[in-house]
Structure 1
Amino acid sequence: MDEREKLRKFRELDDAFAQALRELEKPSSRLDIPTGPPVRSLAELEAEEQQQRQQAFETRLQSLMKEYAQPRESVADLLRTLHTLGHIA
């Protein structure tokens, strides 16, 4: 999710919260506060995105391993070497 989308969602949430506060301040109000789906935290969204990126990477890696007939051990050694040399985080 890009920064604009995060900002837009934050503004929507902020507007809804402000409206709810205004409703609570009205003495004759029936508390007609709209409810919607639960709001997920930014940390949850980022964790979900990270998991999706990891799954996409693993899928692509397995596809390449199959295409080039490379065993797991060989690929694991290559990844360890690249990590040791600082080419991957």
Structure 2
Amino acid sequence: MDEREKLRKFRELDDAFAEALRELEKPDSRLDIPTGPPVRSLEEREAEEAQQRQQAFEQRLKSLMSEYAQPRESVAALLRTMKTLGHIA
């Protein structure tokens, strides 16, 4: 693209931007400006990620229990012991 074409495109963009600003300044302006998806708070995202990690852990644990034929009670006892010894939080 040569310099003249770049300058023309810049002027078109500048004109379009100026027009949009003028429209926004009008008190009766009802522009439909897309805002994108709703913004979620950081707490909501962290809670969702924590829930996903919990679900992934539970699925993996169930898979291992099935693979090694371990009943729920023995796994629960093992986890309590590990927690008591400070190996898990």
Aligned to 1:70: 70
Q: Percent identity?
A: 74
Question: Stretches of 4+ moved more than 2 A in 1?
Answer: 26-34
What is the DSSP-based 3-state SS (H/G/I as helix, E as strand, rest coil) of the residue aligned with 2:88?
coil
Name the amino acid aligned to 1:38.
P
Name the amino acid aligned to 2:45.
L
Aligned to 1:84: 84
**Aligned-CA RMSD value:** 1.9
Say which one has the larger Rg. 2
Structure 1 segment 2-17 matched on structure 2, within 5 A? none
What is the DSSP-based 3-state SS (H/G/I as helix, E as strand, rest coil) of the residue aligned with 2:36?
coil
Aligned to 1:56: 56
TM-score, normalised to structure 1, is: 0.64
Q: Distance in 2 between matches of 1:59 and 1:27?
A: 55
Any unmatched runs of 5+ in structure 1? 1-22
Structure 1 segment 31-50 matched on structure 2, within 5 A? 32=31, 33-50=33-50
Q: Distance in 1 between matches of 2:67 and 2:44?
A: 34
RCO higher in structure (CA 8 A, sep ≥6): 1
What is the DSSP-based 3-state SS (H/G/I as helix, E as strand, rest coil) of the residue aligned with 2:70?
coil
Name the amino acid aligned to 1:77.
A
Q: Distance in 2 between matches of 1:64 and 1:76?
A: 13
